[in-house]
Structures are given as C-alpha cells and as structure tokens.
Structure 1
Amino acid sequence: MAGLTVLVAAGLAISEMTASADPAARPTARPSAAASCAPAADGPSGPPGTPKPTTVATLRMAYQCILDHTYIGPVIDDRVLFAAAFKNVTAELAKRGLDRSVATLPALTGRRGADWDAFATTYQTLLDALPNDPALRQALAEAVIGGMIAAIGDDHDVWTGSFHGSPAGYTLGILPGSSGRATPNIRDAQPPFYVLKVEPGSPAEQAGLKPGDVIEAVNGVPLVVNGMVSPGVLGWLQPTTADPVKVTLHRPATDRTWTAELRPASPTPAGPRTPPPVTVTLIDGGVADVVLPDFMPGRADEVLQKLAALRKTSDVRGVVLDLRSNGGGRAEEVAKLLGAFAHNKITGWSCPLHGPCTPDRTDDTTPLLNLPMVELTNSMCASACDAFSSAVRDLKLGKLVGERTSGIVAGKPSAYVLDDNTSLVLVGQHQLGADREILDGIGVAVDYNAPLTAEALSKGTDPAVQRAVALLTS
C-alpha cells in the first residue's frame, strides 16, 4: 500500500520587476555582489511572513545560498543549475504561448560569478521582451528557483515561496492509497487505487465511502488506463472548486459497484492544520497498539504519556508501534522515542560531503519501557520515519512488519531567509543508518511482508497488526 500526495505550486502576484523604457530604471541584471541568505530565526520551517516580489537580486541570493548550504553545493557544476532553471523558464513560456527568440541560454564556462552574470543578463532581456504582467514574472522567478532546487536532486530541499499564494483547496475527505511502493512519479503507482482513510464529517463520509473502496473512475473517466494511474483523473480527487465530483467505486467486501456524487467542502482555512492525534489502545493478548502519525514536536512524550496511562489500568505485555504513513518530523523526537527501547546507542550518522560523520544517539533521559516491540511500516513511512525504522532494524530493537519504507530521508534541514521574505529549506548533510548504510532511495526492508490491501481494509482486517500480535504473544 502506498499513499500519494499531489502538491500544487502556484505563483505569487508581484508589483516589481516591470519593464521600463529607461534601462536605468530597471533592476540591474548584473548586481555587483550577492547579498547573503540568513539563517531563519524560527527553525527549519522558515519565516512565516508575507512574501514580497521575487526579483533578480532574490534569484542571485537563492543561487548563492544553494551553492553555500546544500550537500553537493561545494562541488556541483553551476551549469547544471542554470540549465535546469532555464528549462523550467522555457516550459513556462511555452505553456502560456509566450516563447521568445531571446529565451536562449547563453554560453557558460563553469565559473560561478561569470555564469551568473551571463544568466542574469539573458533573463532580464527576456523579461523586457514579455508583457508587463507581475504574475507572469513571479511565475518565471519561481521556475528559476524550482529548477535549481530540482537539479540538486535532494527531495528535502524546498523553497517556501512556491507554496505562498496557492489557491485555497477544497476537500472531499479522501486519503487515497495504492498498491506498490510510492515514488515521486505518480505513474509508478500500482493499481488498484483505493480509499485508505475517510475524514470524519467529510463529503466522502456523508456519501457512505469506506476504507478499502476501490476508486475505478472519476467523473466518468477511468482512473487506471493501460495499467497506469492517470494524474489528471487523480487531480479531481483534490478539487480546487466547489464543482461536484462523481466517483465510481467498487467495495470488495460486498462486490458492490456504484457512483457517488461528492460536493467538495469549503476551502481549507489558512494556517496549520490540526495534526491527527496519537492513539494508544489495548488489543489482543495485552498488546498496546500505538498509532503515531508523525514525529513532530511533542509526539514522543504524547506516546509515552498515553502508554503510561494505559499501563496503570491494564497489563501491557508488548507494543505494536504503527508508523504506516508516518510522514516524518524532528530528529529529536526520533531520539527520544528510541530512548524508550534502548540507551547509549548510536542510531544513525549525519555526514557532510567531506569530513567525518556525526553520530546520532538515543535520548537516554527517556525511561526504558522494558517491553517488546514490533514496528509496522509501509512505503509512506518517510524521512524521520525511515531513520527510526533503520535504527529499530540495526539495533535489533524489534521486528519490522508491513512493507519497505519510502527511502525518502535526508539529514537535518535548515532554513535560510531570502529578501522576498520566503525561505529556502536546505540540507547540508546526508543521513546514514546506524550501520552506516545508505537509506535515501532504498528505504528499510521489513522482516515480515504484510501489506494492507483494499480487500483487507474493506473487510475490516489488518494483516500487519495480526502478524505483529502473533509475534508478541507467541
């Protein structure tokens, strides 16, 4: 089983970088010195302020910030960054029917300062040849930064500006899943595509959808064509308008096929969503079933407090730690929760491109639970969840049941503020497992394969939990 998320980036409206008949009135394309990006004062998420126009000077700041603070920044050929940036720019122009003859990448030499000057001059010439449309200019600036970040090849490097100003999203209340392992390319998803979770009170719940219902078509168009999931059809499940969405479903438990019309709920409000809670319940054989949705701040304490409360009223003999679809979070939370199962252990390594690695260790201030543990994983156990799972395996803290983790893992990110009040979140080190194995792109293999299928969900069974309980009670 794998869940798939579609992120939609939108441009920002701006009022600067307008063309002028007077060259002296235009922002210079050849700034004499690049201002430095500054570390964000409020942690790895970056500044929350309102974005300002992304100017040519901002682009140079982003370029230099990437070279200074990413893992491969010291050795990357800057021509790779500029080629990716200009590829994005020309794609944006073509999409809008605005391609221009001046949109040609100039000769580059590999000398970083000279290459920036050549790129910036061409970029400004292109802006001068285009309509004086602030939204267009912002979209092109976004294309430049997005291209440079993509060229780095690290899925944890992001620009917060690409999400500022995005249109408010409507919701159907469906968290979809698919067979196979999640990858960045949605076409790699393996059918069937099904309902993994239904949000309480959502249009999906009101229409009677249940976990395990297989999504066969949306608005009359098959979701899977020639064995591949269609991104366009899938996009209807994450609507941006209030238009009704017709979903054709098949329920394996009853062999019923029907079409439900869902009316999207109002746009999601601005600001952070309330995260799903940690749940701790007692199941067969005195086993505590712990569902941990992420490793955000405070999660380890939440798990331990709820476990302690359960142990006051029940004889708990083991723990099933369900990290399926855990999207990751903070390394400190990983260290604290691992400290409940072992002390004085190296759990992983943070490594720069050159030089010695720094060990990551258990938080030994956490009292030991002294309970056997089985961890449940799947292909959406990512980032900090990858790191936690590798430590469980390498340190032999428990068995892994379910499916291989995502392999989307990096070192600790840091945020750097740009002059448009956005930030670049960049990773300067790579994360290795406790045995110094590479995790990124590979993930962590399980001891027992037990995928959560549409059939199992529809029938209300969970093979992974059943296997975990059997391991803890045998």
Structure 2
Amino acid sequence: MTTAIRTATAGLALLLVAACTAPAPPRSESNTAGSSVCARPEGAPGAETATTIDVIEQAYFCILGNYYSGATLDARSLLSAGFVALTQELNRNGRDVPEAAMPALTGDRKADWTAFETTYRKTTDQVPDLRDKLAVVTLEAMVAGLGDNHARWAHDVAERHPDYYDGDGYGLGLQANVNGPQVEGNPGVALPPLFVTTVQGGAAQAAGLRPGDIIESINGSAPFIDGKATPAIAALYPQYPQARPVRLRLLRQSTGRRWSVTLKPGLFQRDLAALQVVQSKLLDDDIAYVRLRGFAPDSATRVFKAISRQRTGRTLTGVVLDLRGNGGGSPMEATRLVSAFAHGKVTAYQCTVDGKCETSWTDGTVELLNLPLVVLTDRSCASACEHVSAAVKDLRIGRLVGTRTAGVISGPAQPYLLSNNTLLSFPARHHLGPNREVIDRIGVPPDHHVPLTPKDAAAGRDPALAKALTLLQK
C-alpha cells in the first residue's frame, strides 16, 4: 500500500503507522496450483468482488513467491493461522461443523494447500451463509500470521484508498508514547500513563476534557496492568468504520478530580493548520522549527522551502525538525530529507532473506543546508520516519531528542492485486539502518530521553522542544 499517513478516525491526533511503497521492478509469481498471476496493480482497482477460496489460494502463493522470507517460510504457519481463524469464526456464530478439523500438513507447499482447500470447502459448504465472512477472516489471519507490520490485506474502501478520511472521531489527541494499533502485537511500544495531549473538538471538547487528563480505564478496563499495555487501548484507535462510543474513567492531577465520560464519535470541525503536512516557524530569532507530519510526495522539498523562508534576511543557527507523530511515507522523501544534511552517505539497506542488500545513498543533487540539526522523535515516529531518525543518529548529522521511535519498519511494502480487486501488500526486502542494525520492533533510541508528562501537557510545556533549543544554543 502507498504510505500515507492515515488517521483511522478524524478525532485522533496520532497519525497511524502506515506501510511505505518504494518503486521496484514489477515482480510476479505464477501460482502453479492454478490461480491467476499475482501481479503489481496498474491504476486504481476495480469494484471489489467476493473473497473466495480461489482468492485465498492466490494470496497464499503470492506470499510464498514474493514476500521477503517467502522462499524460506514454513507455509504451514500461514495455513494454520487461517484455519484457527476459520474455526473461531464458526464458534462465534454458533455454527461449528464436524468437517472443520485441521488436516495433516507435511511441509510440501502444494500438497498442504490441496489438503487445506479440500477441508475448507467441505466446511464452508455446510454453512453457505457464512462463506463470505469465513473467507475474509481466513485470509486476514494468514496475512497477520506473517507477523510483519508492513504486511496487510486491504479489502474495503478505507483500506484500498488510504487517502479516504471519514471525518468521525472523538476529538481526542493522546500522549505520544502510545500508538494504539501497535499495542496488541507489541505492548512494549506503550508506556504508562495514558493521557490527553490535545483536545481537537467534538466529543472530547463537549465533555470538558483537557490536556494532561489521565485515562485510568477504557470501557471498564485498565489501559496498563503492571506497567504493560492492555488491548483496551485499541478501542481509542478504531479502524474505519468501527468507531463506537467509548467510556473513559479520568483523573485530573491538578485537582484530584476523578470522573467518567462517554465519548461518541462524530463529525467536527478540525483546525486546518493542524492537518498540514509541513508547518514551520522561527524560534529565538535564529532557529528554524519545521514539523513534518508525514513523508508525502514532495514533503522534503516543502521542508527545504520552509527553512529557506526562515533564512531570508537572517542568519540561522540551527534547525529543529519535529517528527513526532510522523507515521511514515515515501522512503525516497526520507532519503532526500537526510541528503540536505549529508552527502555521500548510506541512509539504509534493503535486504533479502539471504542477506543480499540494496544500498540507499544520499542524493547529491539536494543542496546542503549546512546547519546544526536536532530531530524530535516519539513512539509514533514510524517507518520512513525511523529511516530518517536512524540516519541522523548513525551518521552523526544531528541529535535526537524525545523518546524511542515506534520500531515499525520491517521494509517498504509492495502491492499486489488479487483477482477480487483487493490489494495484498508486504515487503520484498527488510530494512536495516546505516550501521546495518535492525530497527524493526526495536526503534531508534534518542540521544536525549525527554518524555512528555501529564503535568507538562496540562501546563502547555514542551520539554523536548526546550531541550532542542538548549542544544542548538550551545
């Protein structure tokens, strides 16, 4: 899928992690088991049709033929994950059937598929009214079975068109050290407490919430237990169109008040300035501050223009690049941005499972800014944002201030069109930093750890930015 920073609901301030698409020669893998070719899409997909066992088969062989570790992957893990989801969906609907027993798998990819398909058809034939739903959950689980944060199957309007924006939300911005969609699979990305950073309007404003308010429970469940994130947090990050009313128990530290509110998602007017990809201002008369919310096309150029405007008529002494909440985007834009601070350097490696790597070099055509740099990062800095963060740190072209990045950078995802006009995407190569270090699931640690606290948020303080200014003024 194209990296786009997509907000799952209009009210959430955090920009969700998104996969990135890098240009690559089209790759395709014929499914020798009989399904159609798995190919890169050309133009917008047509109208989506039903997901069938034939579509699942096509996706299965597409993954094995094109995914980063497809050549060495034990395909039984995919089939097992799919069958688990199938039986769970039967149970949820109270329709379990005798035929739904996992077939024996041998490790032979084609033979195992045949066994899986035979059992699948026998099972779904007993519950024809559930056939469509069973196919969807089976394929979703197979893709999830890869355990890859840049692998996904897009099969609805919002998923297939990342720029779609439904306009519903709670009007609630949350602390930068938590990214809801990552919590269930990687609870280490979330750190307590969970608190409000901004109130953008809508239900949150109507309920009287303020920055710094701590969320003690979500729909009756604690967001953290013994310091570890719980799945309850995900309710604040619903995927379109699943936004539902959410009940929060809150604490306002300044007064000791505890109370409960129910936030109902709905349309509300957003501050258009807060939606701009690039925002800039001058700090202390000689430091350019630029906030970049995503690596959209031409975003690097827009950053350079913003700095150039701040430079007009004065001598700048440094740049603060604010990447907090940046969910990623184009790896090419990430490379171009780094190139304004260094030439002739490696920004990343994209590697196959057998260790053969493509090298991403800085772009020598980008003019050097020749300015000291401080980059602000947080747990919502993901994908291409981490590409930049790692390059800045490893190449010593600036300092990172804030908190560790998300660790969501498995590799640039490539899209493949399935026969029902849905898109399957996953990396063909995995990302390594300039020092060949793994960043995925680990993140990039800051040079200066400066987290935001509820008291900071309540008082309107930005300690990370204050630290950045101190570093640039030395």
TM-score range, shorter chain: 0.7 to 0.9
Structure 1 residues 302 and 226, CA gap change in structure 2 (3 angstroms): same
Amino acid in structure 2 at the alignment position of 1:364? G
What runs of 5+ residues in structure 1 fail to find an aligned partner?
Answer: 8-29, 269-273
Matches of 2:353 and 2:243 in 1, distance apart?
Answer: 48
Aligned position for 2:47: 50
The structure 1 residue matched to 2:56, chosen from 47, 59, 63, is 59
Contact 2:202 / 2:268 at 8 angstroms: preserved in 1?
Answer: no
Tell me which of 142, 145, 149 is aligned to 1:151: 145
Deviation at 1:54, TM superposition (A): 0.9
Contact 1:168 1:267 in 2 (8 A): no
- Is residue 160 from structure 1 mapped to residue 154 from structure 2 by the alignment? yes
Structure 1 residues 48, 120: CA separation in 2 closer, same or farther (over 3 Å shift)?
Answer: same
1:138 matched to 2:138:
no
Whole-angstrom distance in 2 between the partners of 1:443 and 1:357: 20
- Please provide the CA RMSD for this pair: 3.2
2:39, 2:413 → 1: CA distance?
A: 14
Deviation at 1:163, TM superposition (A): 6.6
Aligned partner of 1:120 among 117, 120, 131: 117
Q: Of the two, which has the highest radius of gyration?
A: 1
Distance 1:242 1:408 in 2: 24
* 1:262 positional shift: 4.1
Cα deviation 1:200-242 (Å, max 9, x = unaligned): x433234443322212345676655665655457626759789
Once the two structures are superposed, residues 104-156 of structure 1 have per-residue CA deviations (whole angstroms, 9 ceiling, x without a partner) of 111222222211111111111001111x32xx322211222222212222110
Matched with 2:291 is: 291
Distance of aligned partners of 1:266 and 1:468 in 2 relative to their CA distance in 1, 3 Å threshold: closer
Contact 2:49 2:420 in 1 (8 A): yes
Aligned to 1:174: 172
Separation of aligned partners in 1, 2:196 and 2:330:
28
Is contact 1:242-1:265 (8 Å) kept? no
* 8 A Cα contact 1:72 1:152, kept in partner: no
Residue identity matched to 2:399: K
Q: Deviations over 1:344-365 (max 9, x none)?
A: 2111111111253111011222
Other-structure match for 2:359: 359
Amino acid of the structure 1 residue aligned with 2:420: D
Deviation at 1:411, TM superposition (A): 2.3
1:41 paired residue number: 42
Does the 8 Å contact 2:295/2:328 carry over to 1?
Answer: yes
Shift of 1:266: 3.8
Report the Cα distance in structure 1 between the residues aligned to 2:140 and 2:406, rounded to whole angstroms: 23
Question: Aligned ranges for residues 401-416 of structure 1 at < 5 Å?
Answer: 401-416=401-416
CA separation of 1:395/1:237 partners in 2, compared to 1, >3 Å: closer, same or farther?
Answer: closer
Structure 1 residues 180, 396: CA separation in 2 closer, same or farther (over 3 Å shift)? Answer: same
Deviation at 1:413, TM superposition (A): 1.5
Judging changes above 3 Å, is the alpha-carbon distance between structure 1 residues 96 and 164 closer, same or farther for their aligned structure 2 residues?
Answer: farther
Alignment match, 2:370: 370
Letter in 2 for 1:330: S
Find the counterpart in structure 2 of residue 11 from structure 1. Answer: none
User: How big is each residue's C-alpha offset from its partner over 1:24-58, in whole Å with a ceiling of 9 and x where there is no partner?
Assistant: xxxxxx9961211111124xxxx443311111211
CA–CA distance in structure 1, aligned partners of residues 426 and 220 of structure 2: 42
Contact kept, 8 Å, 1:328 with 1:384, in 2: the verdict is: yes
Give the AA of the match of 1:62: A
Counterpart Cα distance in 2 of 1:205 and 1:284: 32
Does structure 1 residue 197 correspond to structure 2 residue 194? no
Contact 1:178/1:191 (CA < 8 Å) preserved in 2? no
- Are the aligned partners of 1:4 and 1:186 in contact in 2 as well (CA < 8 Å)? no
Which residue matches 1:250? 251
Q: 1:296 touches 1:330 (CA, 8 Å); kept in 2?
A: yes
SS at match of 1:347: strand
CA 1:397/1:220 → structure 2, altered by over 3 Å: closer, same or farther? same
* TM-score after normalising by structure 2: 0.83
Secondary structure, aligned partner of 1:38? coil
The 1:86–1:404 alpha-carbon spacing in structure 2 relative to 1, beyond 3 Å, is same
343-352 or 171-180, which moves further after superposition? 171-180
**Bigger mean CA offset, 439-448 vs 211-220:** 211-220
**TM-score w.r.t. structure 1 length?**
0.83
What secondary structure sits across from 1:190 in the alignment?
A: coil
Tell me if structure 1 keeps the 8 A contact 2:279–2:290: yes
Change over 3 Å in CA distance of 1:287–1:453 after alignment to 2: same
**Does the alignment pair 1:265 with 2:266?**
yes
Between the two proteins, what is the percent identity of the paired residues?
39
Structure 1 residues 461 and 328: CA distance shift in structure 2, 3 A: same
CA distance in 1, matches of 2:221, 2:386: 36
- CA change 1:215–1:314 in 2 (3 A) is farther
Kept in 2: contact 1:170–1:238 (CA 8 A) = no
**Superposed CA offset, 1:51-98 (max 9, x none):** 111112111111110011101101112211111110111111111111
Q: How many angstroms apart in 1 are the aligned matches of 2:194 and 2:458?
A: 13
* Residues 1:432 and 1:257: Cα distance change in structure 2 (over 3 Å): same
The letter of the residue matching 2:100 is A
- What runs of 5+ residues in structure 2 fail to find an aligned partner? 1-12, 18-30
